[in-house]
Amino acid sequence: MARAFATNQQINGTTSVGRNQTYFSMAGWLRRGSSGSRQIFGMIESGVHRTDIIHSTDNIVYYVLSSGILAYGSVSKNLNGWNHVALTFDGSQSGNSNRLKGYFNGNNETLAFAGTTIPATTSNNSAIETFRINRHQAENLWGTGDYAELGMWQAALTAAEIASLAKGMTCAQVRPQSLVYYTPLVRDIQDIARGMTLTNTNSTVANHPRVYA
C-alpha cells in the first residue's frame, strides 16, 4: 500500500535530522499519474536552505542540497508510473559530482549541476527542520501522485545500497544504524525510525507494488 495525494494534500512534520550534516541520503518511491505532474519530498521551507527531491512539471528530477544559495543537480526523466528516486550526499568529497549523487530506479545518473557549488554540509538554518511530502512551501507549489517507502539516513548510502532499495528492499533493511526517518506509508502514517510526529492533510490509501522486508 501507499499514500495518494492531490493538490492541497500533504504530510508534514518537524525534525532536525537533516540539519548541518556532512553525510546524508534520502530515498523513496514516487508514482506519476501523467507526464508534466509534480512529486516532492524533503525539507523545502526555504528557496535557499533546503534538501529535497522534486520530479517537476518540466519532467526533470531535481536533487537539491542548498545552504544559503541554491545548489542542485538535475536529470531529465519523463517516465510515468512508479519510480524510485534517491539522493546521496558526502560533503567530505570535493567537486559537485562527488558530493551529490542522484539515482533514478537504482541507476546513478549523470547530473547537470546549477546554482552554486554543492556545500560541504547540509544547511544549519532552522528552515530545514520542517519535512514535507507533496508540498513545496517556499514557492507555494503542490504535487500530485502516490508516495511510498520514504527514508532518510545520516550517511552517504552506496550505489549498491540504493540499488537494493530500488529492487524492493525496505528502508529498515538498509544501513539501519544510520536510518533517521522512515515512513512506509502503508495505511498508517508514522515515522518508525525516530518517531517524528507527522500531520496528514487528506492523503488517502493507494496501491503500491510489494516491497520486501
Spell out the per-residue pLDDT of the chain, length 213, in tens: 799 999 999 999 999 999 999 999 999 999 999 999 999 999 999 999 999 999 999 999 999 999 999 999 999 999 999 999 999 999 999 999 999 999 999 999 999 999 999 999 999 999 999 999 999 999 999 999 999 999 999 999 999 999 999 999 999 999 999 999 999 998 789 999 999 999 999 999 988 776 654
C-alpha cell read off for 104: 533514478
Note the pLDDT of residue 113: 98
The reported pTM is: 0.96
Note the pLDDT of residue 187: 75
Note the pLDDT of residue 4: 96
Mention every residue, 6+ apart, whose C-beta is less than 8 A from residue 48: 66, 67, 68, 69, 70
The CATH number for 2-206, chosen from 2.60.120.200, 1.10.3260.10, 2.40.50.140, 3.40.960.10, is 2.60.120.200
The CA distance from 68 to 37, in Å, is 28
CA distances 123 to 80, 143, 167, Å, are 32, 24, 31
Which residue reads 531529465 in cell numbers?
76
Q: What are the structural domain ranges in the chain?
A: 2-206
Task: Assign 3-state DSSP to the chain and report helix, strand, coil percentages, each to 5.
Answer: 10, 45, 45
- Phi and psi for 180 in degrees, rounded to 5? -120, -5
Mention every residue, 6+ apart, whose C-beta is less than 8 A from residue 146: 2, 3, 4, 5, 30, 31, 82, 206, 208
Contact (Cβ atoms closer than 8 angstroms) between residue 143 and residue 150: no
